[in-house]
Amino acid sequence: MGLLSDPNRRRALISLLTRLNSPICVVCYMAGVAWFMGLAFEPFTLRTYMSENAMGSTMVEERFPAGERALTTGREFSAHKKKAGGMPVDWLVKTMQARGLEVFTQRFSRKLPFPDENKERYMVKGTNVYGILRAPRAPRTEALVLSAPCTPGDSNNQAVGLLLGLAQYFRNQIYWAKDIIFLVNEHDLIGMQAWLEGYHHTNTTGMDWSPLQGRGGSIQAALSLELSSDVITSMDLVLEGLNGQLPNLDLANLFYAFCQKIGVLCTIQGKLQRNDWDSVSGYSHSVQTMMLMVMKQASGRPWGDHGLFLRYHIEAASIKGINSFRQYKTDVTTIGRLLEGMYRKLNNLLERLHQSYFFYLMPSLSHFVSIGYYMPAFGLLAVILLLRALDLWVQLVSSPGVLSVLTPLVISHLTGVALYTLPIQFQEMAVEQFPVSETEAVVLTAIGYNVFLFIYIGWRVLKLVAVLYLAVLLGCTALINFSLGFILALTLVPVAAFVTPHVPKVLSAFILVILSPACTLLFSVFFFQELQELPVSFQEGWLLYLSVISQGILDHFLYGSLVYPLIALLVYPCWLLFWNILFWK
Amino acid sequence: VHLTISQSRAASSANHIQPLLVDNAGQFFSSGHTNNWAVLVCTSRFWFNYRHVANTLSVYRSVKRLGIPDSHIVLMLADDMACNHRNPKPATVFSHKNMELNVYGDDVEVDYRGYEVTVENFLRVLTGRLPPSTPRSKRLLSDDRSNILIYLTGHGGNGFLKFQDSEEISNVELADAFEQMWQKRRYNELLFIIDTCQGASMYERFYSPNLMALASSQVGEDSLSHQPDLAIGVHLMDRYTFYLLEFLEDIHPASKTNMNDLFKVCPKSQCVSTPGHRTDLFLRDPGSVLITDFFGSVRKVEITMETINLTDPIKQVEQRKYSYVDQLPVSEIIHQKPKQKDWHPPDGFILGLWTLILLVFFKLYGMKHLKHIF
């Protein structure tokens, strides 16, 4: 007889499963965590290499000469910015036209759902200015974008200056096969969102913008430049975009290749590479770099102005110039040459970047881990859920009806919907009643939703459904945003595995709260600050936590980030189901 | 018509010059061809394959310089590099860095361009099966006294050459095309040069007579490119063709350099890959084959102040088997090649495997099924 159809063998398998379930679950959990930590170990990673044939090696001669002039332009921009109290639109239009670009502007305005305390804005109005350098001999079918943000105060003046300097230099060359769009966006991400929506004729976030008068072709790649000092010591590459999406790895490879060719120090996550991978400190350095990337990707927010391009399948990255206390300084001409080289190579592209990986983790700028290597870590955690589900299935005496589980599911999801909609609705009311700022009102309304249900069905059925639901949810999340899925799995899988009505209630309730998504976020905030070597006290940490939640909600309404709805509408109801299983009578 | 010189010395007064003339004249007419053709193909497109177009154009330039007219050259370029938007020096294709040599020139005539360079068109050109509307410039109008030079370059692999990123020609197809040419009397002798990765695999399957083949690398080796030009931003030439061009620049129409020197072009120290050649199907000794027999179109003219007595009956200088009248039958040649057998596992092994499978099946599911078999 077959293995599963023979009743004796079947009983033996089932008893094996029930007996060994907990040990296997524990072993799988440890293995998953160990696999994840092992990803940063250098022998398990691959060196980065250029996959796209068209970009080949870095064999172009960069000749950008005008770094000093770019700095002068930057100073002029700063003066005009101070005078205009925002974006100096007329000056920018005039300067770009003088450099031979076709200049257009776009006005946009947005009323945030509640005031943003971090950036102190509520009613946002602004103008984007962009100039198009038409390719001399090519049809206008493809474009590349170079953008610099117009930030209030003293930052990013040199970025705009360098952008204008490069525009002038590029205008004199005849080898451009794609249009190059030089964009200066106001109010960083909001302006960028308005520009992208206008360029692609979509309106997903309800922003108000004037249509774009001029257009290049379809955008193949984009770089966002942030430079706030006259000399820099290193260049930092930022890859994480909206919803944890990453650009094609070839863009990072291109940046790294040119950094090596020109001899500029390049970092990722602000950390330099180290050669001593076999020492403990070297390994922990890689782990820190990788964990920073995981944290940033899990938050689902765009970490640079490039983050919004990725949604339109445009590979984009942000390059930040950092001036720290190192001896060797790089001047603006060298940065200009680096960008010139990158753009010349991007110019050679015939199709969108698609040869290299879209899903990867980088423990350092020269090494990466692809999806095939990191997914088993998550798979080991998901196996625990499946084992538990099997265990519950064989313990069920009779097969349950579907309708009996429907009630608790619906009620949990209704709570989730309440969590999603109420904070915004009631923040006005809360502000009037209580002496809290709007952001705090939102956040405090969001905390503390616990619903006790009395359910009249066996708890096993509910747990089976909950465990499978969690498995599917985490699986889908991990596919799109691996970091978010993995972090949620790390905390929620133990919850799902051990909770039954028979464990000690108080202790389990405490552990459940500790492992809930809200507390996970709190710990992540502290952990993130530790990783960046800027540890915070508990007070500051709590305020940071509140601001993170409010930023998350704002991101969702402004740019369409999916982390907040995911947590509120799907993960939280799932957690609630387990809470209810714990308190089942 | 084979002109031979009488051995008689009595007629001429300057009889010490006669033997020299005899030898010269004998060698003069030893090749047996009366016209030259060239088919030069670049099979890859895209800007980063600039070097393949430069390869083909430099061979075109040499061949034209040595005398083959445009009407006898079929030039097939799969992409236009000179007018590519990314070319910082428009209307030029350089073969050497520092832009010493513009191989595009003013008078290049491309017969098949862009998407017209396909496997089908290439084979049709070789075999002559073109629709009646095809213009003369696109036809290979060779006859049984033509020496043809065929040069292919692009991306290749073991047994194939990639055309235009979407199709391939295999070495078997190529060998069959040459056989068709032989049977249709479309060539006297054919020199086949290929500069791709694993190029030697392309001439492995030839079986028609009078073929000589050269390749830039052996099976399993890659052909490497020569040097990048930083202003243009791409590699300009492949190594093998670069050194081939250097070699050909020294050839002039009266050169006596022979094929053995061509085989020595680009040794492993310069080329990194090992160039290969094949001469077993060629009926003359490669040492007696001049470069200009294939690369140039040399007029059979020699000025002499001596009178040559042709009153004696004309007889052959040597009995050589290089005319169609005396051609070897094709089937004999085929059987001289060792047949390539594919390996099959021994029969007993397969039988044993099936017995094992059956036994396991019956053991697992019980012997009661056995009675349904027997």
Measure A383 CA to nearest chain B CA, in Å. 30
Would you call A61 and B47 a contact, using CB atoms and an 8 Å cutoff? no
Question: Which letter, b or e, does each residue of A342-368 get, where b requires 16 or more Cβ atoms within 10 Å of its Cβ?
Answer: bbbbbbbbeebbeebbbbbbbbbbbbb
| pLDDT band, very low/low/confident/very high, at B335 (cuts 50, 70, 90) | low
Tell me the C-alpha distance between B70 and A402, whole Å. 82
The model's pLDDT over A78-97, given as tens digits with 9 standing for 90+, comes to 999 999 988 999 999 999 99
Q: Which residues of A touch B234 (CB under 8 A)?
A: 56, 59
Instruction: Convert A456-480 into a string of H (helix), E (strand) and C (coil).
Output: CCCHHHHHHHHHHHHHHHHHHHHHH
Amino acid at B278: R
pLDDT of residue A117: 77
DSSP tag of A271: B
- Residue B329 pLDDT more than 70? no
CA-CA-CA-CA torsion sign (A333, A186, A438, A113) = negative
CA-CA-CA-CA torsion sign (A87, A90, A93, A95) = negative
Nearest CA in chain A to B50: A54
Measure B357 CA to nearest chain A CA, in Å. 17
Averaged pLDDT for residues B243-257? 87
Would you call A348 and B231 a contact, using CB atoms and an 8 Å cutoff? no
| pLDDT band, very low/low/confident/very high, at A455 (cuts 50, 70, 90) | low
A135 in contact with B at a CB cutoff of 8 Å?
A: yes
Nearest to B87 among A53, A175, A350 (CB): A175
Q: Which residues of B touch A133 (CB under 8 A)?
A: none
Averaged pLDDT for residues A24-38? 94
| pLDDT band, very low/low/confident/very high, at B15 (cuts 50, 70, 90) | very low
Supply B114's token pair.
């862009």
- Residue A19 pLDDT more than 50? yes
Q: Which of A42-51, A442-451, B245-254 has the lowest mean pLDDT?
A: A442-451
| pLDDT band, very low/low/confident/very high, at A153 (cuts 50, 70, 90) | confident
* Mutation for A interface: B44, B46, B48, B232, most A CBs within 10 A: B48
Would you call B47 and A344 a contact, using CB atoms and an 8 Å cutoff? no
Nearest to B86 among A56, A57, A348 (CB): A348
A262 in contact with B at a CB cutoff of 8 Å?
A: no
DSSP B2-59: --------SS-S-TTTHHHHHHHHHHHTSS---EEEEEEEE---SGGGHHHHHHHHHH
Would you call A60 and B46 a contact, using CB atoms and an 8 Å cutoff? no
- Interface size A-B, in CB pairs within 8 Å, comes to 42
> Which residues have CB under 8 Å from B64's CB, separation 6+?
B70, B73
* Mutation for B interface: A348, A349, A351, A355, most B CBs within 10 A: A348
The catalytic residue positions of B are: 155, 197
User: What ipTM describes this predicted complex?
Assistant: 0.79
Nearest to A348 among B48, B90, B230 (CB): B48
Tokens 């000690």, residue located: A504
Would you call A174 and B88 a contact, using CB atoms and an 8 Å cutoff? yes
Would you call B46 and A350 a contact, using CB atoms and an 8 Å cutoff? yes
What is residue A405's three-state secondary structure? Answer: helix
Tell me the C-alpha distance between B212 and A535, whole Å. 76
The model's pLDDT over B264-289, given as tens digits with 9 standing for 90+, comes to 988 888 888 889 999 999 888 888 88
Tell me the C-alpha distance between A363 and B197, whole Å. 36
- Residue B5 pLDDT more than 50? no
State which H helix or E strand residue B291 sits in: none
Measure A57 CA to nearest chain B CA, in Å. 9
pLDDT of residue A276: 82
- For all residues of chain B together, what is the average pLDDT? 82
pLDDT of residue A460: 83
What is residue A358's three-state secondary structure? Answer: coil
pLDDT of residue A232: 92
pLDDT of residue A298: 94
> Which residues have CB under 8 Å from A351's CB, separation 6+?
none
CB A179 within 8 A of CB A134: yes
Q: At what angle do helices A517-531 and A280-299 cross, to 10 degrees?
A: 130
* Mutation for A interface: B49, B83, B85, most A CBs within 10 A: B85
Averaged pLDDT for residues B356-372? 76
Q: Are strands B155-157 and B211-215 parallel, antiparallel or unpaired?
A: unpaired
Tell me the C-alpha distance between B228 and B232, whole Å. 8
- Residue A54 pLDDT more than 80? yes
- Residue A122 pLDDT more than 90? no
Tell me the C-alpha distance between A90 and A96, whole Å. 10
DSSP A377-393: HHHHHHHHHHHHHHHHH
Tell me the C-alpha distance between A463 and A468, whole Å. 8
Q: Which of A264-278, A428-442, B158-172, B201-215 has the lowest mean pLDDT?
A: A428-442
Q: Which of A371-385, A491-505, B329-343 has the lowest mean pLDDT?
A: B329-343
Q: Which residues of A touch B233 (CB under 8 A)?
A: 59-61, 175, 344, 348
Amino acid at B5: I
Nearest to A347 among B86, B228, B235 (CB): B86
Q: Which residues of B touch A51 (CB under 8 A)?
A: none
pLDDT of residue B3: 39
pLDDT of residue B161: 94
- Residue B80 pLDDT more than 70? yes
R_g of chain B computed on alpha carbons: 26
A57 in contact with B at a CB cutoff of 8 Å?
A: yes
More confident residue, A348 or B6: A348
Amino acid at A483: S
Q: Are strands B234-235 and B228-229 parallel, antiparallel or unpaired?
A: antiparallel
pLDDT of residue B97: 61
Averaged pLDDT for residues B174-196? 94
3-state helix, strand, coil in chain A (%, to 5): 55, 15, 30
- Residue A393 pLDDT more than 80? yes
- Residue A428 pLDDT more than 70? no
Collect all residues from B whose CB is shorter than 8 A from any CB in A: 46-48, 84-88, 90, 228, 230-231, 233-235
CB B50 within 8 A of CB B235: yes
| pLDDT band, very low/low/confident/very high, at A283 (cuts 50, 70, 90) | very high
| pLDDT band, very low/low/confident/very high, at A104 (cuts 50, 70, 90) | very high
CB B37 within 8 A of CB B73: yes
pLDDT of residue A422: 79
pLDDT of residue B11: 41
Q: Which residues pair with B277 in a beta bridge?
A: B214
A506 in contact with B at a CB cutoff of 8 Å?
A: no
More confident residue, B64 or B318: B64
Measure B89 CA to nearest chain A CA, in Å. 8
Nearest CA in chain B to A345: B233
Would you call A350 and B85 a contact, using CB atoms and an 8 Å cutoff? no
More confident residue, A438 or A585: A585
Tell me the C-alpha distance between B360 and B210, whole Å. 59
pLDDT of residue A585: 65
The span from the first CA to the last CA of chain A, in angstroms, equals: 43
CB B101 within 8 A of CB B237: no
Measure B80 CA to nearest chain A CA, in Å. 14
Chain A, residues 338-377, CB within 8 A of chain B, namely 344, 347-348, 350
Would you call A54 and B90 a contact, using CB atoms and an 8 Å cutoff? no
Nearest to B48 among A54, A135, A344 (CB): A54
The model's pLDDT over A399-424, given as tens digits with 9 standing for 90+, comes to 666 677 787 888 888 888 888 887 77
| pLDDT band, very low/low/confident/very high, at A150 (cuts 50, 70, 90) | very high
Q: Which of A15-24, A45-54, B39-48, B307-316 has the lowest mean pLDDT?
A: B307-316
The span from the first CA to the last CA of chain B, in angstroms, equals: 79
Question: Which letter, b or e, does each residue of A183-200 get, where b requires 16 or more Cβ atoms within 10 Å of its Cβ?
Answer: bbbbbbbbbbbbbbbbbb
State which H helix or E strand residue A181 sits in: strand A179-186
Q: Which residues of B touch A54 (CB under 8 A)?
A: 46-48
Would you call A348 and B88 a contact, using CB atoms and an 8 Å cutoff? no
State which H helix or E strand residue A361 sits in: strand A360-364
State which H helix or E strand residue B215 sits in: strand B211-215
A5 in contact with B at a CB cutoff of 8 Å?
A: no
A137 in contact with B at a CB cutoff of 8 Å?
A: yes
Would you call A174 and B234 a contact, using CB atoms and an 8 Å cutoff? no
Measure A2 CA to nearest chain B CA, in Å. 8
> Which residues have CB under 8 Å from B342's CB, separation 6+?
none
Q: Which residues of B touch A136 (CB under 8 A)?
A: 85
